[in-house]
Structure 1
């Protein structure tokens, strides 16, 4: 089975589009079954991994700190992020998915920034940290990330939805992404493309510069620590977050910042897999394997679950 043509039946189409078909990864039936199994397994593992982090933070008193509360909120965000895809979708549903997908992505960049700020305060201002980063302030900052994330993208989404889509309704992607959507327009829309590029660039570079600046200050402080053991311990608290930032922002910049003119439109979707699918899968592994407190909490959680499921426990 070959890749379906995007121009198929173009002579018989109507002047408007009522639904979109997300082509996804159009291979042979056998390969599609294999991909479905892989993606289903990835989705289940992502849910389990992030739910374990949320439960560990919720039930372990030692993890009731701003750092881990932000991590639990981040895991909750990742669960929603990987859930926001489908195959055949209505016109309004496509733009609703567009809104939720990009709003969740925006919220993730803001959470990564807040987590970098938290690490900066904890390492560079340890005496002020307990009074500045209180639990209440941490919750307010997390709430602000959600609100700002969902208020950032409505304008470009509304502008694209008001443009005429004619004939073609097959999107060579697995999500309603602005690039493939703009290619289906009946008219050229350079202004919309510029607006989307500005929105993406401002969001990505502003948060990335903030995160980078925070860690430059952290590194300066860490290098002044006299003992190598102290330096290693301090760096270990930041390495998990830096790994998550590198994975997320690396794929974001390849898809939305680096020019893709002249490249096949379908290639973008393979890179896009990294930030909504692989990043939510890897984050629980990154944070649990690189953090001793999280590993202890997870072991305690698994021990409690196994003990409560023993036969005769409730007798």
Structure 2
């Protein structure tokens, strides 16, 4: 099935592979860039894996908010891994080529994981709204079954949302240059290379991008308007500060995430600028996955306490195992 799909893509596109520009052609910057991005990638993976492990192995963290946070960490690893490993290989080997099928796969999964995160952030905002504004109904509205359904819906909607883009782009003809002036396969860099009529794809990208991001953004905004209104009605200053601290980290991530997404995708294709878009893409691919674990955990006393307890238990088990093996 995969081979048939790959053959169809090649036949319809008249191209077997693309060359990728990356950030620079300078041989002197090859190894510094590789070391820098490898360090960043390892940090992203390890920090998010730490969050996942703490939540999975810490029973006190088996609550809706941390279930959503665990999914967010999984997403951060996934969409970073769709871009950085291939980019690292191209930087190190200087063989900056990606197959057409590989390019389409990278495009699909990157857009899909971005869409899933849009929906997931909206779900997390709804969770905070129910917890703060409807606390007596929280256990009912955020039951394990309901949480699983919300997470499942976010993943399915995200995976289906970008299928149309990938199918349409895979059927374009790339009869001019096959050189992508970017560091991975994204929508606008590919549209710039096509000699086919891309107006339908541009409209679809703008409409779907606007609808997905704006609908999720406004649902998040409405949730926070209710949250802020509830917080302002709390008479105690300490109570207001404590309540707001539970959702402040999420709000910071939402602002950074939507800012980069809107700059990248909610606009006409004619405004595409490789240098500016590379900068915003880096913010999205690197900065957000780096910040999410820090923002959600550093200011969260419950997480830090349970995190320490979980890893104390793991260390104790490892110590006991080592002592048993010595005997």
Question: Which residue of structure 2 aligns with residue 72 of structure 1?
Answer: 70
Query: Whose helix proportion is higher, 1 or 2?
Result: 2
Question: Which residue of structure 2 aligns with residue 283 of structure 1?
Answer: 292
1:18 and 1:45, CA in 2 relative to 1: closer, same or farther beyond 3 A?
same
Structure 1 gap ranges (5+): 1-14
Residue 236 (structure 1) aligned with residue 245 (structure 2): yes
TM normalised by structure 2 equals 0.87
Question: Which residue of structure 2 aligns with residue 158 of structure 1?
Answer: 167
Question: Which residue of structure 1 aligns with residue 123 of structure 2?
Answer: 114
Shift of 1:217: 0.5
Q: Deviations over 1:231-282 (max 9, x none)?
A: 0111110011111111111111111225574664333112111112221111
Q: Secondary structure at the match of 2:323?
A: coil
Question: Which stretch has the larger CA shift, 226-235 or 55-64?
Answer: 55-64
Question: Which residue of structure 2 aligns with residue 12 of structure 1?
Answer: none
Residue among 111, 115, 135 paired with 1:102: 111
Residue among 81, 84, 88 paired with 2:82: 84
Shift of 1:16: 2.2
Are the counterparts in 1 of residues 22 and 181 from structure 2 also a CA contact under 8 Å?
Answer: yes
Q: Secondary structure at the match of 2:19?
A: strand
Question: Which residue of structure 1 aligns with residue 3 of structure 2?
Answer: none
Question: Which residue of structure 1 aligns with residue 41 of structure 2?
Answer: 43
Question: Which residue of structure 2 aligns with residue 313 of structure 1?
Answer: 323
Q: Secondary structure at the match of 2:18?
A: strand
Residue among 116, 119, 133 paired with 1:124: 133
Structure 2 gap ranges (5+): 1-12, 88-96
Q: Deviations over 1:143-196 (max 9, x none)?
A: 111111101111122112112111311111122111010111113422221111
Residue 93 (structure 1) aligned with residue 91 (structure 2): no
Give the count of matched residue pairs: 301
In structure 1, C-alpha distance between the alignment counterparts of 2:165 and 2:268, rounded to whole Å: 19
Residue among 294, 300, 304 paired with 2:309: 300
Residue 135 (structure 1) aligned with residue 144 (structure 2): yes
Are the counterparts in 2 of residues 239 and 290 from structure 1 also a CA contact under 8 Å?
Answer: no
Shift of 1:141: 1.0
TM normalised by structure 1 equals 0.90
Residue 18 (structure 1) aligned with residue 16 (structure 2): yes
In structure 1, C-alpha distance between the alignment counterparts of 2:46 and 2:273, rounded to whole Å: 35
Q: Secondary structure at the match of 1:201?
A: helix
The 5 Å alignment of 1:195-274 reads: 195-258=204-267, 261=270, 264-274=273-283
In structure 2, C-alpha distance between the alignment counterparts of 1:17 and 1:185, rounded to whole Å: 11
CA RMSD of aligned residues (A): 1.8
Are the counterparts in 1 of residues 58 and 307 from structure 2 also a CA contact under 8 Å?
Answer: no
In structure 1, C-alpha distance between the alignment counterparts of 2:201 and 2:63, rounded to whole Å: 43
